[in-house]
Amino acid sequence: MKYLKTFAVSLSVMMLLSACSPSPSESEPMLEPTVGGENTILRSTSKVTNDAQTKKIITTQESFQIGTHITIKVYDDKEVPNDVFDQIFGLIDIYENRVSKTISTSEVSNINENAGVEPVAVSDAVIDLVEIGQNYAALTDGLFDVTIGPLVDLWGIGTDHAAVPSDDARLTEMSKIDYQKIEIKPLDKTIFLKETGMEIDLGAIAKGYIADRVKDLILELGYDHAIINLGGNVLTVGTKPNSDAWQVGVRDPQSSSGNTMGILKLEDNSIVSSGIYERFFNAGDTRYHHIINPKTGSPEFNGMYSVSIVSDTSVDGDALSTSVFLLGLEKGFALVESLSNVEAVFVMEDQSVYVTSGLGDRFILTEKSYVIKSLTD
């Protein structure tokens, strides 16, 4: 992991944990470099608070990894030992060094460097991620495509060289995108991109996958109540210790200060949001956001500000938040309604809000400038 001196945080969701009662002497955890092997992780020490509502101790640590701000909160009868967080952040580091396309030694970088040349031996995790990507590509007729890497690089959104590309450049990079040209051999544990210039980018599903593995580890270590927040991918472990649902604020996509526009109640599941406010740049009067349609080669503009997916696993929420955004309101709504244990909240530019049928009273609108509507209205 690279050395990090500064960071900026833009979370898609905000945790509403007002029952926590820190002592007057406690302060917010400060992120400091922690060296492990050849890597440096920007990480805080523990913050310990007494939760008056559940009568439990909450131990919180934060880090900056996989390009985002991470917060882990674990509830227990006593302070959670530091070595538990060592294992959590160490696990995240392992996955980052396998799946990041910006780390030259990662497995994904090796796949991309050998596109059109030869198959590359990879770990089970990378096989899993690419297979998940292939499943969602088939589900969305290629709107979700992990070979979108050339277009992501071309636009450079979220970097200091973001710019609107020429039509010729866009068409050239679009010709390199085709999920059907990925050859996966699970028994051999190899992946091969069949044409030179192809490039895998797992950014649309990696955070969700890693969050799910962190949840597995927390449960394996014997903790049944926790909150995992990987840069806005929020995954809950169980319920609150008093059996209450977790309350998660859905960000107001029109708020520059990260205010919320509603509250979702979660129990042992995930919320992932995608929207035009996450990563973007302005050119003229247009805001170009990071959700690129591989069939047009450009950011998708369909009247949607954001979509929040509630699902059992974070990797599904990650993939679906991108897929549903690209599908648009009507087709995206229909897809979510067709899936088991998946729900969604759609926020549109005209401040209308659409909520899928299974959420019931689990979503509460709190910002009066928005109006909940039905597709039949």
| Helices and strands, counts by H and E, the chain | 8, 24
Run of H or E residues at 247? strand 246-251
Burial of 361: CB neighbours in 10 Å, binned 0-12, 13-18, 19+: exposed
User: Could you tell me the CA-to-CA distances from 23 to 28, 45, 181, 200, 309 in Å, in that order?
Assistant: 12, 16, 57, 47, 35
For every one of its 377 residues, what pLDDT tens digit does the chain have, with 9 covering 90 and above? 332 323 333 333 334 433 333 333 334 455 555 544 445 678 999 999 999 999 999 999 999 999 999 999 999 999 999 999 999 999 999 999 999 999 999 999 999 999 999 999 999 999 999 999 999 999 999 999 999 999 999 999 988 899 999 999 999 999 999 999 999 999 999 999 999 999 999 999 999 999 999 999 999 999 999 999 999 899 999 999 999 999 999 999 888 777 899 999 999 999 999 988 878 888 888 888 899 999 999 999 999 999 999 999 999 999 999 999 999 999 999 999 999 999 999 999 999 999 999 998 899 999 999 999 999 87
Cα 103–Cα 108–Cα 112 angle in degrees, nearest 5: 100
Strand 226-230 and strand 68-76: pairing?
A: antiparallel
* Confidence (pLDDT) at 36: 42
146-202 pLDDT, tens digit each? 999 999 999 999 888 999 999 999 999 999 999 999 999 999 999 999 999 999 999
Cα 139–Cα 144–Cα 148 angle in degrees, nearest 5: 150
* Confidence (pLDDT) at 280: 82
State the angle between helix axes of 329-338 and 314-327 in degrees (0 to 180), rounded to the nearest 10: 150
* Confidence (pLDDT) at 34: 53
State the angle between helix axes of 82-99 and 124-139 in degrees (0 to 180), rounded to the nearest 10: 60
Global pTM reads 0.89
Cα 156–Cα 179–Cα 160 angle in degrees, nearest 5: 5
* Confidence (pLDDT) at 32: 58
- Those residues with Cβ within 8 angstroms of residue 35's Cβ, 6 or more apart along the chain or in another chain: none
**Phi/psi of residue 332, each to 5°?**
-65, -40
CA atoms lying within 13 Å on the CB side of residue 338 = 10
25-50 pLDDT, tens digit each? 334 455 555 544 445 678 999 999 99
Q: For the sheet with 260-266, list strands across it.
A: 13-15, 246-251, 260-266, 363-365
User: Could you tell me the CA-to-CA distances from 115 to 22, 71, 183 in Å, in that order?
Assistant: 53, 36, 11
Nearest to 310 by CA among 286, 275, 337: 337
